[in-house]
Structure 1
Amino acid sequence: MTTAEPEFLTAARTFYDAVAADYADRYRDALAAMPWDRALLGVFAELVTTAGGGRVADLGCGPGRITGHLAELGLDVRGLDLSPRMVELARAAHPGIPFEAGSLLDLPYRDGELAGAVAWYSIIHTPAGQLPGVFAEFHRVLAPGAPLLLAFQVGDDALRLDRPFGRPVTLDFRCQRPERIEALAAAAGLRVTTRLVREPEPDERTPQAYLLAHRTAGAPS
């Protein structure tokens, strides 16, 4: 018997398929005005490179803007996104990078395959009860010592986005407390080494958090 897909995955896919082209147009060059984002992505790339390199993944890649930046930093990167339409746009924008559709709950990589992973605002649609499974997948696919870089909005509430770009879709963006995400990472065998929270920019409603973790050598606690 086929297991029904969790409703939150269906909702997120429907939302991002609907807004994919508008989203890609709006945020295509956004990284140029985000020095903290570029700095932390640069640190991630340096950590991967100095450890000997290897395959990395942008998990929840959207139209591939972060994936493309990581490729420009010299990484052997591929992208994964829940939305087939986002994957289609990413492939068109970055034809030299592999992209595929998939879920954070069932990553299409072998155990220990990745030398690093980025989850850039991609855990924000996952209900709290499903997050341990997501972090277990992060741990499974990362090689021992490999870095994981996370970004997310800070807070205790969900921000509802209704009819973005005039499209007839709605989705909740779940804010998180850095200490809770750090605890989830630790329970999954991912040791957080850097935590940064910055105040919101004028067009943002919440502070933004960045966590850098590394897969530990042992099994999760």
Structure 2
Amino acid sequence: MTEHQDGIRAGYDGVVELYASMFADRLETRPFGRAMLSTFAELVRGTENLRTADAGCGPGHLTAMLCDLGLDAFGLDLSPGMVDHARRAHPALRFDEARMEALPVGDGALGGVLAHYSMIHTPPGELPALLAEQARVLAPGGLLMVSLFATDAPEPVRFDHKVAPAYSWPVDRFAGLLAGAGLDPFARLVHDPASERGFLEAHLLARRPRDSSVRVSPAER
């Protein structure tokens, strides 16, 4: 685990109850995010592979929402405190500790991966490998949804997040990274800031092409 991941894990472990209380009902007041999540779930259902990872699940509220939308969803998070909270809050669902760069999932096993603001702390230079890992676990035709902070600047903008340093991204640049990971970024929604940070918010949908081959993770070579 890298030094910045140690900081992220410790930071989120320290705010579990506060974070859960602030964000458990967040999508009830976020119509754009809610609409994209519903679209994501509908598209995953259409693949007939309902198994879906909520990567960076936090307190597990979106994992539960994905299940309510008809998916066989489970949650993964770097923070053991978040995983413990999610297990207590949603005892019927599965939650495990995991890094997004090394998912405990077989090649091509999933119909969907949700990354809801869970890539914002990843340094730009490490994102290609992280996205390649999400592509690895998707079955051909599987869907990835990424939500992130967006910027009109030409380069990613580092900012001081309350938990750990984070980045906002030019949407075209991020879509290019998705394409570089072997995915087809086919839909996006960008809207005005929904928080005091002032950044645009973006939701991108990408699909693993049906004719793509399964790439084996480095740990399995």
State if a TM-score over 0.5 links the two structures: yes
In structure 2, which of residues 86, 90, 93 is the aligned counterpart of residue 94 of structure 1? 90
Q: Does 1:7 align with 2:3?
A: yes
Return the alpha-carbon distance in structure 2 between the equivalents of residues 115 and 177 of structure 1: 27
One-letter amino acid of the structure 1 residue matched with residue 29 of structure 2: A
Return the alpha-carbon distance in structure 2 between the equivalents of residues 135 and 127 of structure 1: 12
CA offsets 1:81-111 (integer angstroms, 9 cap, x no match): 0000000111111111100011011010000
One-letter amino acid of the structure 1 residue matched with residue 58 of structure 2: G
Return the alpha-carbon distance in structure 1 between the equivalents of residues 197 and 24 of structure 2: 17
Q: Does 1:44 align with 2:40?
A: yes
Unmatched segments (≥5 aa) in structure 1: 163-169
Q: Does 1:207 align with 2:200?
A: yes
**CA apart distance, 1:45:** 0.8
Checking the alignment, whether the CA contact within 8 Å between 2:49 and 2:110 is kept in structure 1 is: no
**Following TM superposition, where does structure 1 have runs of at least 4 consecutive aligned residues deviating by more than 6 angstroms?**
none
My pick for the range that moved more, 78-87 or 180-189, is 180-189
The DSSP-based 3-state class of the residue aligned with 1:151 is strand
Aligned positions, number: 209
Checking the alignment, whether the CA contact within 8 Å between 1:189 and 1:219 is kept in structure 2 is: no
Percent of paired sites with the same residue: 41
Unmatched segments (≥5 aa) in structure 2: 215-221
The DSSP-based 3-state class of the residue aligned with 2:110 is coil
**CA apart distance, 1:218:** 2.0
One-letter amino acid of the structure 1 residue matched with residue 212 of structure 2: G
Return the alpha-carbon distance in structure 1 between the equivalents of residues 141 and 164 of structure 2: 35
**CA apart distance, 1:202:** 5.1
In structure 2, which of residues 110, 132, 149 is the aligned counterpart of residue 153 of structure 1? 149
Return the alpha-carbon distance in structure 2 between the equivalents of residues 60 and 73 of structure 1: 19
**CA apart distance, 1:152:** 0.2
Checking the alignment, whether the CA contact within 8 Å between 1:82 and 1:103 is kept in structure 2 is: yes
Checking the alignment, whether the CA contact within 8 Å between 2:77 and 2:97 is kept in structure 1 is: yes
My pick for the range that moved more, 144-153 or 171-180, is 171-180
Report matched runs for 1:173-184 at 5 Å: 173-184=166-177
Match of 1:166 in 2: none
One-letter amino acid of the structure 2 residue matched with residue 137 of structure 1: E
